Amino acid sequence: MDGAAPAEGWIGTRLLRKEDARFLAGKGQFLADIRMAGMEDVCFVRSPVAHGRLNGITKPKGAVFAAGDLPPFQPLPAGPDLPSYRTVPYPPLATDMVRFVGQPVAACLAPTRAAAEDLAGLVELDIAELPAVVDARAAMRPGSPLVHEGWPDNAFITSGAHGGEFDAQRAAATVSIRRDLRMNRQAVVPLEPRGVLAYWDHRLDELVVYLSSQAPHVMRIGLAQVLGLSEHRLHIIAPDVGGGFGAKNRLMPEEIVVCALALQRGTPVRWLEDRRESFLSAPQARGHVYDLTLHADADGNLLALEGEVLIDAGAYALWPTGAFAEASMAVRNLTGPYRIPAIRLRNATVATNKPPMGAYRGVARPGACFAIERMIDEVARALGMEPAELRRSNLLTPEELPYRTAGGMRLDNGDYPRALETAREMIGLDAVRARQAAGEPDGRRVGIGFALYAEQSGHGLKEWARRGARVLPAYDTSTVRLMPDGSAQVLVGIQSHGQGLETTLAQMAATALQLHPDRIAIRHGDTAVSPFGFGTFASRSTIFAGGAAVRACRVLAERLRIIGAHLLQADPAAVVLADGEVRHGSAAVSYAEISRAAHVRQELLPAGMDPVLEATATYEPPESEGTFSYSCHAALVAADPLTGATEVLDYVVAEDCGTMVNPMIVDGQVYGGVVQGIGTALFEEIPFDEGGQPLATTFADYHMPCASEMPRIRIAHLVTPSTITEFGVKGMGEGGAIAPPAAIANALADAFKAEGAEFNETPCSPRRVTAALDAAGVA
């Protein structure tokens, strides 16, 4: 199925984003915009070394707090609830040990951040340095120094994925390609760094916490537990959040400490992360190390995949999920949308003396996509086949779906070969082959690369339970409330931080309620206002919160039908709801009139009718294994063999996220994701030296892609509605970031295929490109 989405109400409309009215006018209300009388700012004293024993802290006069100066924190176990998993507390302030550069050790308070920084500068730490564990592979060798004393090795957890008739498939192989691949450590760089402001509200008798967060309700659970506070005395508000991308989805030490300080002092306490702190101690990402072998027969049929995946998880596990999701998803997603009948994969989540790993747009799949798509290109090269052809013959066809992969994922529906064909036509594969044969006048080399993925979305209880999640994001909740004037508020438990959900959820509610989206306000991000929900991550909000809102709106619509019919003296079965009215033939009564009757003129209601015009619903898709969006990316690059500089000349995406609620917002999500993916492919990295010191802690060293590095990104949409969600939507918010590293590294390898140069480590910086060319003997 393709073409336009079914035009049903406001679904499929390119409505301008409601939230942009305040953002574009500079009127957004972010954490740093909020001020309280008597507020103090916090500066953290952080470990200057990657690993050491903390023997003492010399504090100057002033408000300086180390671990011993605060009431003890209650334990908050993080990471999967699985028997083989080793759990370690991440102390909000270091007690006896420090395990990465940047770990919080003490908090200094002063009326301004500058004064707090001056105070922090006077704190002296007595640390006996220990050897640092920096490289994930070295960390797994016997005899490696240990990040956590007393552990038998450096693994948080080891696991694996096995599926299909592995030995038989491998025995049929004529080509076996083995490669080491790496996707290095990088930062998650939201425009607005993290931040928290907490104070005790004496009137409400509760701790109010403004938190730059993706999941305020979930954070309340964790904060209440670690602070020993009752949840009815804890109120979390996520104001406008300037991007999260996964980094604001974990409960972090600074957030706990600021709350503890506010409780202790009884005055407002605030911490605003600066950019350097963000590089040092915010959750980091990727850190994938692969050793894989891909087996194929002489016709290019992929048969089996084996090997090992190591995830460099850093020193501690972050609440609630820990870092296991990365490893388990990496192995399960490695076969992508391809027919690879057998796998035998091991994985280890490895402790190193680095900042803890969190989630970052795409979670695990950018690494998995990079690894499998690089290997597929090398199989094609070994067989002398066009890589796009090898892909086409190994992609699952629509007739084969639903298909259970060897890793156990149930791919539901779509047309993967068509996505490839579309991208191939858009990028002009044949023209590029001719251009390569002619050569470039400036001595550069051009190359073309493809990559595909399938992105799981809408997964609920079954999937999270399988992963051993401590918090199970099975469902989400929404309440719709008709106001006395007939406008509506839709309250949701998710948290929009750039995705445009104030617009798209209004479009979904508008369709179910038959009310103009301008008459609907979406309320989210406040535990006192919105119903319980798990927040925005895993590209889940449209399916879950949209689904819940649609169901709540339908319940409300039924009540409007009954009251409206009564007011029109008509049979409820004979009226229709349209455009904010209940209609019967040429007669109509507006929602405003109905709502006025219910709120202030109850004698007009049917006898005995409950006047409440409010409904709450939860939603989880019936197949809790999820529904898969997918896409094919294709990149055309030009690389300079002398300097190693790579330019992306053209970039196309053929994507399918089911029914699109708002195609303009979908395009925006793809653009943003692709730009971040190009960052991973070519620019972004936090390298660490052998002592565990991070070598990129400012934008001078950490290279973000800028507009000048970006090609024009062209997008084509296929539309295969999901069969299990409201309106057939599939989640897609992360997808754009998944495929660019693979597509670009493949394009580089294509540019230098004559010499056999390979690009198996990201970012493909000029230094790495020239090193690969030297190794391949490119003159």
- Kindly state the DSSP code that residue 690 receives in the 8-state scheme: T
Q: Which is nearer to ligand SMO, 273 or 455 (CB)?
A: 455
Among 46, 220, 361, 459, binds ligand SMO (CB under 6 A): 361
**What are the b/e assignments for 380-401, b being 16+ CB within 10 Å?**
bbebebebbebbbebbbeeeeb
Q: Which does 729 bind (CB under 5 to 8 A by kind): ligand SMO, ligand MCN, none?
A: ligand MCN
Q: Give the Cα separation of 172 and 36 in Å (integer).
A: 70
Q: Which is nearer to ligand MCN, 539 or 618 (CB)?
A: 539
Smallest distance, ligand MCN to C-beta of residue 449, A? 24
Q: Which is nearer to ligand SMO, 235 or 361 (CB)?
A: 361
**Location of structure tokens 């779509």:** 414
Smallest distance, ligand SMO to C-beta of residue 539, A? 7
Site for ligand SMO in 481-540 (CB under 6 A): 537-538
Q: Which does 368 bind (CB under 5 to 8 A by kind): ligand MCN, ligand SMO, none?
A: none
Q: Give the Cα separation of 439 and 24 in Å (integer).
A: 45
Q: Which stretch binds ligand SMO (CB under 6 A): 245-253, 291-299, 567-575, 758-766?
A: 245-253
Q: What helix, strand, coil percent values describe the chain, rounded to 5?
A: 30, 25, 40
Q: Which does 278 bind (CB under 5 to 8 A by kind): ligand SMO, ligand MCN, none?
A: none
Q: Which is nearer to ligand SMO, 249 or 646 (CB)?
A: 249
Smallest distance, ligand SMO to C-beta of residue 499, A? 10
Smallest distance, ligand MCN to C-beta of residue 193, A? 12
Q: Nearest CA to 735 among 571, 581, 538, 578?
A: 538
Smallest distance, ligand MCN to C-beta of residue 518, A? 17
Smallest distance, ligand SMO to C-beta of residue 684, A? 15
Smallest distance, ligand SMO to C-beta of residue 537, A? 3
Q: Which is nearer to ligand MCN, 99 or 361 (CB)?
A: 361
Smallest distance, ligand SMO to C-beta of residue 321, A? 10
Chain-centre distance for alpha carbon 484: 38
Among 279, 360, 683, 702, binds ligand SMO (CB under 6 A): 360
Q: Give the Cα separation of 391 and 418 in Å (integer).
A: 12
From the CB of residue 174, how many other CB atoms can be counted at a distance below 10 Å?
12
Phi, psi of 359 (to 5 degrees): -110, 150
Using an 8 Å Cβ cutoff, are 501 and 729 in contact?
Answer: no
> Residue 363, interface with ligand SMO (CB under 6 A)?
yes
Q: Which is nearer to ligand MCN, 370 or 450 (CB)?
A: 370
Smallest distance, ligand SMO to C-beta of residue 249, A? 5
Q: List contacts with ligand MCN (CB under 6 A).
A: 243-246, 361, 497-501, 504, 536-542, 657-662, 665-666, 669, 672, 729-734
Smallest distance, ligand SMO to C-beta of residue 540, A? 8
Q: Which is nearer to ligand SMO, 244 or 356 (CB)?
A: 244
Q: Please report, to the nearest 10 degrees, the dihedral formed by the alpha carbons of residues 242, 245, 250, 254 taken in order.
A: -40
- The secondary element (H helix, E strand) that includes residue 502 is helix 501-513
Q: Which is nearer to ligand MCN, 116 or 732 (CB)?
A: 732
Q: Which does 501 bind (CB under 5 to 8 A by kind): ligand SMO, ligand MCN, none?
A: ligand MCN
Tokens for 736, please give them: 């754009």
Q: Which is nearer to ligand MCN, 482 or 675 (CB)?
A: 675
Q: Which is nearer to ligand MCN, 184 or 496 (CB)?
A: 496
CA 591-596-597 angle, to 5 degrees, is 100
From the CB of residue 625, how many other CB atoms can be counted at a distance below 10 Å?
21
Q: Give the Cα separation of 446 and 749 in Å (integer).
A: 10
> Residue 359, interface with ligand SMO (CB under 6 A)?
yes
Q: H helices of 517-630, where?
A: 541, 547-568, 591-600
Phi, psi of 670 (to 5 degrees): -65, -45
Among 222, 243, 246, 705, binds ligand SMO (CB under 6 A): 246
Q: Which stretch binds ligand SMO (CB under 6 A): 126-134, 240-248, 340-348, 450-458?
A: 240-248
> Residue 318, interface with ligand SMO (CB under 6 A)?
no
Q: Which does 120 bind (CB under 5 to 8 A by kind): ligand SMO, ligand MCN, none?
A: none
Task: Convert residues 537-556 into a mask of x (bound to ligand SMO by CB under 6 A) and - (unbound).
Answer: xx------------------
Q: Which does 522 bind (CB under 5 to 8 A by kind): ligand MCN, ligand SMO, none?
A: none
Tokens for 700, please give them: 């001078």
Using an 8 Å Cβ cutoff, are 324 and 157 in contact?
Answer: yes
Q: Which stretch binds ligand SMO (CB under 6 A): 272-280, 360-368, 423-431, 705-713?
A: 360-368
Q: Which does 249 bind (CB under 5 to 8 A by kind): ligand SMO, ligand MCN, none?
A: ligand SMO
- The secondary element (H helix, E strand) that includes residue 277 is helix 275-281
Smallest distance, ligand MCN to C-beta of residue 83, A? 29
The residue number whose beta carbon is nearest to ligand MCN equals: 498
From the CB of residue 449, how many other CB atoms can be counted at a distance below 10 Å?
29
Q: Give the Cα separation of 140 and 133 in Å (integer).
A: 10
The amino acid at residue 694 is P
Q: Which stretch binds ligand SMO (CB under 6 A): 243-251, 309-317, 414-422, 663-671?
A: 243-251
Tally: H helices and E strands in the chain: 20, 29
Chain-centre distance for alpha carbon 18: 23
> Residue 249, interface with ligand SMO (CB under 6 A)?
yes
Q: Which is nearer to ligand SMO, 164 or 736 (CB)?
A: 736
Smallest distance, ligand MCN to C-beta of residue 69, A? 35
> Residue 330, interface with ligand SMO (CB under 6 A)?
no
The full 3-state SS of 654-672, as one line of letters, equals EEECECCCCHHHHHHHHHH
Q: Give the Cα separation of 658 and 631 in Å (integer).
A: 11
Q: Give the Cα separation of 487 and 184 in Å (integer).
A: 50
Using an 8 Å Cβ cutoff, are 537 and 215 in contact?
Answer: yes
Phi-psi category of 331—alpha, beta or left, where left has phi over 0 and alpha has psi -120 to 50?
alpha
**Strands 403-404 and 342-351, how do they pair?**
unpaired
Per CB under 6 A, residues contacting ligand SMO are 214, 244-246, 249, 359-361, 363, 537-538, 734
